[in-house]
Chains A and B, each alone.
Chain A
Amino acid sequence: MFVLGIESTAHTLGVGIVDADGKILADVKSVYSPTEGGIHPREAAEHHQQSCLLVLKDAMDQTGISLRQLDAIAFSQGPGLPPALRVGAVMARALAYTLKIPLLGVNHCVAHVEQARFFSKAERPLVVYLSGGNTQLTTLESNRYRIFGETLDIALGNMLDMFGRAAKLAHPGGPKIEELARKADGTYLPLPYTVKGMDLAFSGLLTAAKRLLKEGADLVTVCYSLQETAFAMVTEVVERALAHTQRTELLVTGGVAANKRLREMLQIVAKNHSARFASVPPKYAGDNGAMIAYTGLLLQREQIETPLSASHVMPKWRLDQVKIEWH
């Protein structure tokens, strides 16, 4: 059995293929990078349209199987940018229809969580999902990923990228900020720290950090202070969620999970609460087609198919709206 998955919620057009055991046979992507400013949904969609067939062909070539051997087509149905989502949806529908195989609509957030669980083999983890578009703390409880905490304004990754742009750093800003912060001498400039229960807000922090830059503060010091503040906020809510849920496994996923300083901080709280720390392999921290294929496989096993008539994209589809029939 082979499932092909298509990811197209934001910057990444990805195609992944997994076998019946969830083993990744191919994972190919093309990433749109805006020439200026943030992501322009239409430009992202255009990028996806131009690259989708090449990415598909590359992925198929790597597996050495033919399209006819595929058993199902999965695609990220949401949440995400509508124009970008539509490209993946059109591609998936066309493939499923011509190959006469099931179509599987996958929730992008669920896919990140499921892929991280697959790699970590965690049993009942508290999952921290930190990416450009999402910042969520969740655990599976009675067939649903219950959200314990999330951002009230912008996502952590988005905040870092926006700061990166203001500081004229290369896109994406997150890794660049990490690199600069590592050179800091430990001088910490106070910045706003906003935690509400297990929720977070980053826009006040972003504004203040940008202001420091304008006032001529040293870039390295600002990067360091920004990271220390933002990651302390995340770590604090994670600690609160660990204390609250009493879970003994902490699993981190999403693009920002690759940041070493953040991982270090999260490892400390995990240890303090006697929880095992695990994180998704860096290679799969960002958006990828393989996670969609794998989640598609889980759906296929439960025979949860998406008829063409219900395959419209869902730009605001939340993690906790999905009924989880496996596990």
Chain B
Amino acid sequence: MSVVLAKGAEAMLFLEQWYGIRVVRKHRIPKSYRVESLDKRLRHERTIREARTINVAKRAGVPTPIIYSVNLETATIIMEYIEANRLMEHLETLSSSKQQKVFKQIGKSVALLHHTHICHGDLTTSNMLLHTSGKVYFIDFGLATTTHSIEDYGTDIHLLRRALNSTHHTSWRECFNAFKDGYQNEYGRGASRIFRQVEAIESRGRYITERIR
């Protein structure tokens, strides 16, 4: 039994039985638009990254699916199926106080990631699953990086803020403020430096005039 669970940007996801349990098989499919060697390198790299980082994140206390098996040849990961709603579609159905609780928790998880020197690399509400228990699971770690740079942590947060701003424009401010609270509580000293970096990244404006050599 195998049903298509989702057609993501990078991968096809199937819901399957695997030795008697329900799992998700994430297959990074070849992309015909790019050079084959580049395509192979990216799918290979990201499969390794995703598998490795999901485990590190879990150890750091961030809810993530369990990884059962990885096949680098086919760029496939078999992982725990999380029976939960994507936050992207679900956020607007929540009351404002529930939304803020969720984002406080997300802030805490992202701070835990950054403390472990992990940047998620694609923090959007389509990569967060909200379980009925209230727990928010993080998925899609293919663009994750290990880094000690404040600029990278800032960029991670900037991506989330922009994703909120573009996709959830009615409630994004309150959600982002709750995120900030959760992040600061967990990260402690140093959090304000990171948020200053977020400001700096955003105030650069995106119109960068051509630099003279």
* Chain A residues close to B by CB (< 8 Å): 37-41, 79-81, 132-136, 141-142, 144, 146-148, 150-155, 158, 161-162, 165, 188, 190, 193, 195-199, 228-229, 232, 235-236, 239-240, 242-244, 264-265, 268-269, 315-316, 318
Contact = CB atoms under 8 A, between A and B. Distances in A.
B189 interface: no
B37 interface: yes
A141 B206 contact: no
Interface stretch (B52-60, B99-107, B162-170): B162-170
Interface residues of B, number: 37
Interface string B194-213: 00000001000111111111
Given A196-B155, A239-B9, A243-B8, A165 B209 contact: no
Interface of A is mostly: mixed
B57 to A, nearest CB: 17
B210 A232 contact: no
B207 A190 contact: no
A268 B33 contact: yes
Given A196-B155, A265-B34, 15 more contacts: A38-B211, A40-B212, A144-B169, A154-B208, A162-B210, A188-B37, A198-B159, A236-B34, A240-B9, A240-B10, A242-B9, A244-B167, A268-B33, A315-B207, A318-B207
A69 B74 CA distance: 67
Contacts of B155: 152, 196, 199
Nearest to A188: B35
Interface of B is mostly: loop
B186 interface: no
Contacts, number: 119
Most buried by A among B35, B143, B159, B201: B35
Contacts of B124: 197, 244
Given A188-B35, A265-B33, A146 B166 contact: yes
Interface string B60-95: 000000000000000000000000000000000000
B9 A188 contact: no
A267 B143 CA distance: 24
Contacts of B143: 195-197
B38 interface: yes
Given A148-B166, A265-B33, A38 B210 contact: yes
Given A188-B38, A190-B41, A316 B205 contact: yes
Contacts of A79: 205, 207
Contacts of A38: 210-213
